[in-house]
Amino acid sequence: MGGKIPREIDVHMGGADMTCQDCHVTKNHQIAGASTMLATYSARVSCTDCHDEKTVHANSPAGKMIAKHLKTVACETCHIPAIARGGIATKLHWDWSYVGKEMKELEGKEEFGREVYAKHKGVFKWGVNVIPTYMWYNGKVERYLLGDKLDPNTVLDLNKPMGSIKDPKAKIYPFKVHTGKQPYDVKYKYLLPFRVWKSLWSDYNWQKAIELSAKEMGLPYSGNFDFVSTAYYISVRHEVAPKEMALTCNDCHFKRRLDWKALGYPDDPALVGGRFTRGIVKVKKSK
């Protein structure tokens, strides 16, 4: 997609003709912005840096109802209905276990215009118009650190957002969940680093790539490795849609876009009530 970004893809860069630096302000070579992908940041960037949440919905017919949601629902949840909406696919899965394997059936094949296999990288999955995964988030993440133990029988969360329905500081935010498979030490039960430059990407030798990297990083390696499923949570903050494309009450509640039980609710909060509100829909009790 060349040229100017369409307004329906990003209302800031397309509609308001803004640049990255308008939000990601720099000072002394420090760029503001906190991503769940990074462990450090110089300053946070928030919708409320520019928009007053007390007045921004004042002229909306549903303004009073929206105001009731602000303690629980982040701006991005309603205003970014999907990611990769412009036709450019986003990567959703990266399986490293296929590195070095001859996958003739996948060679040259694409998904949304993107390769699904590369001998030196593995197998990929892509998506467009992807509905985010909604999770509680209080601004902190629980990160996997080098050497932390793992359970190879479960999916390893590398940076799980912290927060819950019982956390008053948490709100429901949208995330892209990037899954994959990465090598781990069968004996020590932790992820293994591996060298790609002048190693894996040239000779496809996993044993050598792991041994080189483990030695360089001072991490004991038993000599035996396998692959474990992983999940990486990427906060969804861009591709803000125009207000006419924002989610409506029906999108979240009665169309079941959100997994309410996974969020800790017994049922749709429009029926049973939320953390700070009562249910607004009367349900007929079955006799």
Q: What is the largest CA-CA distance in the chain?
A: 71
Q: Which amino acid is at 279?
A: G
pLDDT of residue 280: 53
Q: What is the dihedral of CA 231, 236, 239, 241, to 10 degrees?
A: 120
| pTM (predicted TM-score) | 0.91
Coil, helix or strand at residue 190: coil
Coil, helix or strand at residue 271: helix
Is the pLDDT reported for residue 287 higher than 50?
A: no
Is the pLDDT reported for residue 218 higher than 80?
A: yes
CA distance 39 to 158: 12
Over the stretch 41-100, which tens digit does the pLDDT of each residue have?
888 899 999 999 889 998 888 888 899 899 999 999 999 999 999 889 999 999 999 999
Over the stretch 95-123, which tens digit does the pLDDT of each residue have?
999 999 999 999 999 999 999 999 999 99
CA distance 16 to 19: 9
Using DSSP bridges, classify how beta strands 225-235 and 171-185 pair: parallel, antiparallel or unpaired: antiparallel
Q: What is the mean pLDDT of residues 247-254?
A: 90
